[in-house]
Amino acid sequence: MSLTENAIAPSIAKRFARIAGTGSHLPPRRLSNAELAAQLAERGVETSDEWIVERTGIRARHFADEHTTASDLGTIAARHALEAAGCSAADIDLIIVATSTPDMVFPSTACLVQRKLGVHGCAAFDLQAVCSGFVYALSVADSMIRAGTARRALVIGAEVFSRILDFDDRGTCVLFGDGAGAVVLEASDTPGIVACEMHADGRHVDILCVPGTVAGGKVLGDPFLKMDGQAVFKLAVGVLENVAQSVLAKAGRQCSDIDWLIPHQANIRIMQSTARKLKLAADRLVVTVDEHGNTSAASIPLALDQAVRDGRIRRGDCVMLEGVGGGFTWGAILLDY
C-alpha cells in the first residue's frame, strides 16, 4: 500500500504513535580493547584496555566484515522488530533509516532495506543527523503518523562506522562500532510518544565531522572521522540536560516520572553526568556502550531493544531517549512504552 493510499486510512482518533516492537543486530565479530590495542600496536599506535575504559567506559565493540553493509545490518534488525510487533514487512507504509554510513551515495539505504525485505510502494528515505539520527527519525515518523500520512513505520538506525575510522588516531578509532537497531511505530488511540524536540547548531560543524566527499571519481578532502573530543563533551553535557528538561515540560512531567533513561551511547561520563543532573539513580540508566562502543545512530535503538528483551523495560514504563551528534545536532523523546 502506498503512502498516498494510506493518507485516509487512520481514523481521526488515531493520531498518536506507539512502539509496537523493537529489534537489533550486531555483526558477529566482537573486538575487545585488548585485541584492538594489539592491532593498533602493529601500526605504532599506543593504547590499552585501561586507557580506553577509564576515559570512555568502552570494553569492546563489534565490527562488520568487508562485505556487510548498513542495509544488511538494518534489514536484520528490522526483521526482528517486525517479529516482535507481530506484523510483516507488507504491513509497513513508511521506512526511515538514520545513518551516516550509507551503502552508496544513492539510492538511499532505506530503499535498499525495502528491497531486502521484499516489499515495494511505501515511502522510504534516509535521515542524516549523525548520532542524533534515530531521535530525529523517530520524531519524523511520529509526526507523519499523527498527521495521518502513515499507519505503521519502520524506523531504523544502522551504521558501519568502522569504514570511516582512522586507525592511526587513537583518540577516535577506539570509540566506535557497527550495528543496527529498529522499531515498528504504529498508529494508536493513546499516546506512546508523548513529546519530542530536535535541535541543531551549525556553528559547530567542525568539532565532529568527516570532511571528505566524492567527486570526479575520487575522494576529495579527508574521508576519515575527525573529532575535537573536549569540545564535543562540553557541548553534549549541557544540551542533553536542557533538552530533557524541555521535553519533560512539554509533557507536563517531572524527572521523577522517568523510569528509564536511554541516552546516545558515546561516553559513560557524559551519560552518567546527564543522569545525575536529572536526579536519576544509576540503575535507571541503560548502558550498552561498554560492549557496543559508539554506534552512532544505531546506539539508542540497540540499547532500547536490549533493555526490552532482557525485561527491564516493560509496557507502561516512561522512557527518555536522548541523542547528540555531529552537526552539531541533539534531541530527545519522552515515550510511554
- Cβ atoms within 10 Å of 120's Cβ, excluding its own: 11
Q: Are 155 and 167 in contact (CB under 8 A)?
A: no
Nearest Cα to 154, choosing from 69, 72, 64, 90?
A: 90
**Three cell numbers at 129?**
543527523
Amino acid at residue number 314:
R
Distance, in Å, from the CA atom of 99 to the CA atom of 211, rounded to the nearest integer, reads 16
**Three cell numbers at 93?**
507504509
Nearest Cα to 132, choosing from 327, 334, 337, 336?
A: 327
Q: Are 196 and 334 in contact (CB under 8 A)?
A: yes
List 25, 33, 111, 131, catalytic entry: 131
Q: Which long-range contacts (CB under 8 A, 24 or more apart) does 36-43 make?
A: 36/61, 36/173, 36/174, 39/167, 40/167, 40/170, 40/173, 40/174, 43/167, 43/168
Dihedral pair phi/psi, residue 316, rounded to 5°: 100, -15
Distance, in Å, from the CA atom of 330 to the CA atom of 64, rounded to the nearest integer, reads 27
Distance, in Å, from the CA atom of 95 to the CA atom of 75, rounded to the nearest integer, reads 11
List 6, 33, 267, 294, catalytic entry: 294
Residue 264 falls in the annotated catalytic set: yes
User: What is the dihedral angle through the alpha carbons of 237, 241, 244, 250, rounded to the nearest 10 degrees?
Assistant: -140
Residue 294 falls in the annotated catalytic set: yes
List 264, 267, 292, 318, catalytic entry: 264
Dihedral pair phi/psi, residue 94, rounded to 5°: -160, 130
Q: Are 82 and 99 in contact (CB under 8 A)?
A: no
Residue appearing with cell numbers 528509564: 260
Q: Are 164 and 101 in contact (CB under 8 A)?
A: yes
Catalytic residues: 131, 264, 294
